[in-house]
Amino acid sequence: MKWRTAISEVEHGKESIRGYELTSLMAKKSFSDVVFLVLRGTLPSAAEARMMDALLVACIDHGIGVASAVVSRLTASTGNSLHTALASGILAFGKLHGGAAQDAAEFFSSQKDTADIDVLIGSLKEKKIRVPGYGHKVLLEDSRVTALCAKARELGFFGTYCEFALMVEKSLNAVSSKKLPLNIDGALAAVLLDMGFDPIQARGVFLIGRVPGLIAHIHEEMTQGPGLRRLREDEYEYTGGKNKKI
């Protein structure tokens, strides 16, 4: 059985992406234009191109303290290659870091027609089900979200899903004991859904945007780091038993 693809073709010394000659794309289009093309199958409009740029920039890095950066740098410090350290950082993404964009997109897609959001959120709280795309370890309000929503309004992509995401935020914070802001995963998911992307692609866009940041962290660790990293004795506490007899 033949494998089938509509993404790219290499034939007679020429390569095409979604039917467009690669060298022509190199000459006339930006990287984010071609990211949009390869994911969606069509070149972006001017507004889509500007929104895609903003989405990728919003994801590029979020400090040295996040799990993916920590894991990437730890792996680099042990003498591994750049691509090994990068892979380890990507594997650190999960439901609570980086991976929530897809979960949030799936939640928004399945619940956007909910008649009473307050009842929905109350039911989820009662069942102790976490709503993906909300909350932040450090920030009470995520400036990236504010900027993305403003850009989406400006470019005409602040639609049903963005409105729903903000209504969920309001409802969550009415019943939560701590501030739960719409975070970058949730905002990314809402904007991408309003642009016509699907939930799986939402996670993919986040990963595409974050890879340059991880590479920068890995390079910094390799060239300026202290060498092999490990926890100091005062950074952890042993809680097991002592002096056990065999």
pLDDT band per the 50, 70, 90 thresholds, residue 12: confident
The predicted pLDDT at position 217 comes to 98
pLDDT in tens, 89-116: 999 998 888 888 999 999 999 998 888 9
Token pair of 181 as six digits: 């802001």
Single-letter amino acid code for the residue at 32: S
pLDDT of the residue at 139: 64
Chain mean pLDDT for the chain: 93
- Cα(15)–Cα(23) distance, integer angstroms: 8
Tokens of 79: 């003498």
% of the chain residues with pLDDT over 70: 100
The half-sphere exposure of 82 on its side-chain side, counting CA atoms within 13 A, is 12
Residue 119 token pair:
């009842």
Query: Cβ contacts of residue 135 below 8 Å, gap of 6+?
Result: 180, 181, 183
Q: Are 72 and 66 in contact (CB under 8 A)?
A: no
Burial class (CB in 10 A: 0-12, 13-18, 19+), 128: exposed
Residue 188's pLDDT band (boundaries 50, 70, 90)? Answer: very high
Domains of the chain listed by start with CATH number: 8-44 (no CATH), 45-224 (1.10.230.10)
